[in-house]
Amino acid sequence: MSTERFVVLGNGGAALYAARAARQSGFPGEIHLVADSEGPAFNPMLSPYYFKGKVSWEDCFPFGEGFYRDYDLVCHFGDPAVSLAAARQRVILGSGMELPYDRCLIATGTSPVIPPVPGLRESPRAFPLRSAATALKLEGAMRAARKAVVLGASMVGLEMAEILTRKGVKVVLFDVVAQVLPRGTHPSIAALLRTYLEEQGVEVRLGCGMEGMEGAEEGVVCRFSGDVIEEADMVVVSTGVRSNLAFLDRDEVKTELGVLTDERMRTNVENLYAAGDASQALNLVSGRQDWMGTWGSACYQGRTAGQNMAGKEAVYTGTLPENITPLFGWHYAQMGDIQPKEGVVRHCACGDPRDGGYYLLVFQDGRLVGANLINCTRHAGLIRQAILQKWRCEGLAQEGEWNDPLPETVGTAILEACLAERSVGRTAMR
């Protein structure tokens, strides 16, 4: 019987894909799963779909209760890691228990970022959305609410604005930045989405930060910059997430936003791996180790880590940053790099979101590297392949100083070259 021991820190997609991959790769030893949460893994990406009635509550737990038994995992639920002595290969848990390991995976995921606003964190009417417990609390609050403040114009914030509005709740959406969806969306696309949100009844206030929050008899009073005051029944906090790495010695383990990894999900420390939202791995567009933040990439990274921990030769080939989501009947996609920081960059746009779709394509030194799409996501797969295959469009991407929107003739030529479902060898694309 094997005396080797793996310790997996986390209880999400990356952690469980790693544990399963290790078992399927033939690892017979102990696998200890350490997590701050209790019970089966919850997929927070599915919460908005649950609120919309698109999936059941059970669907939000993709592995189920039996997974841990089926793969013979020793679970330490509710007893998170508080320290990792990577050089000595020891994990110390909150209970004081010390777990020595032969190989360890850091897959601790993320936690919501709560702005340091007086009264916000401790308020029972403020709801971040990351765990099963907070999702249930939010569901209960929505039933009785008449007005809500959504703090943060992230993708989750916009989805919650739609969900609340469709339930008859008045929504005011705030963000300290100057546009909606600041991560991965071009300002011109963000302006179109803002206008559409306002047409659906969402009040959008940008460049306005929360400064304080106090309880009221039947709700809360929120104070914002510019002497803006909003009374509401609830506050949805969607101001981003941060990797759970407080237990690490960052002088020992190399980190940026997450733990830095190589193509086998190894860290800079021997026998220590990382995957999922706690890690940074290969971005196929930038070529850098980036934080990806999607369920699919986390599971892929976890599987790769588990196979390598078990002695298999597995390579994480990288992921393209992308997100496709419905929003009040529109369909929006963001993929690749929208704001490259180097080279000659062109943002080329054409179309109409209400008539056939609106396309914004991003070229870096003549190569397609990113796109924002509104109501033309049927072409997302083809554009994704164009980005991954590093297709070039020399004539269109480097002629002239283009501004949005493009002349119709140029826009049509780009669409014919990049998007038409026929041979892409025509026109200027190569």
- Write the CATH number for 329: 3.30.390.30
Same domain, 246 and 235: no
Same domain, 107 and 249: yes
Residue 1's alpha-carbon distances to 15, 249, 277, 397, in angstroms, are 24, 33, 34, 61
Range of the domain at 209: 126-239
Of 284, 309, 334, the domain-final residue = 309
In a domain, 316, yes or no: no
Residue 298's alpha-carbon distances to 38, 44, 103, in angstroms, are 20, 13, 19
Same domain, 56 and 10: yes
In a domain, 118, yes or no: no
Measure the CA–CA gap between 418 and 205, rounded to whole angstroms.
36
Q: What are phi and psi of 413, to 5 degrees?
A: -65, -40
| pLDDT confidence of residue 289 | 94
Total domains in the fold of the chain: 3
Of 276, 309, 342, the domain-final residue = 309
As given in the structure block, the two tokens for residue 195 are 């206008």
Same domain, 229 and 156: yes
Same domain, 251 and 302: yes
In a domain, 272, yes or no: yes
Measure the CA–CA gap between 138 and 110, rounded to whole angstroms.
19
Q: What stretches of 296-344 adopt beta strand conformation (E)?
A: 322-327, 330-336
Question: What is the pairing mode between strands 241-243 and 259-260?
Answer: unpaired
| pLDDT confidence of residue 410 | 42
Q: What single-letter DSSP state applies at residue 58?
A: G
Same domain, 28 and 105: yes
| pLDDT confidence of residue 215 | 86
| pLDDT confidence of residue 392 | 78
As given in the structure block, the two tokens for residue 153 are 């114009």
Same domain, 389 and 247: no
Nearest to 51 by CA among 134, 152, 154, 114: 134
- Pair 348, 411: CB distance under 8 Å: yes
In a domain, 137, yes or no: yes
- Write the CATH number for 225: 3.50.50.60
Same domain, 130 and 232: yes
Tens of pLDDT, residue by residue, the chain (430 residues): 578 999 999 999 999 999 999 999 999 999 999 999 988 999 999 999 999 999 999 999 999 999 999 999 999 999 999 999 999 999 999 999 999 999 999 999 999 999 999 999 999 999 998 899 999 999 999 999 999 999 999 999 999 999 999 999 999 999 999 999 998 999 999 999 999 999 999 999 999 999 999 987 789 999 999 999 999 999 999 999 999 999 999 999 999 999 999 999 999 999 999 999 999 999 999 899 999 999 999 999 999 999 999 999 999 999 999 999 999 999 999 999 999 989 989 888 888 999 889 989 898 988 889 999 999 988 888 888 888 888 776 555 443 334 444 444 444 554 555 444 333 333 332 2
pTM: 0.91
Quick count: other Cβ atoms within 10 Å of Cβ 72?
12
Same domain, 381 and 405: yes
Same domain, 29 and 94: yes
Of 217, 239, 261, the domain-final residue = 239
In a domain, 107, yes or no: yes
In a domain, 119, yes or no: no
In a domain, 226, yes or no: yes
| pLDDT confidence of residue 426 | 30
Same domain, 131 and 177: yes
Same domain, 74 and 142: no
In a domain, 74, yes or no: yes
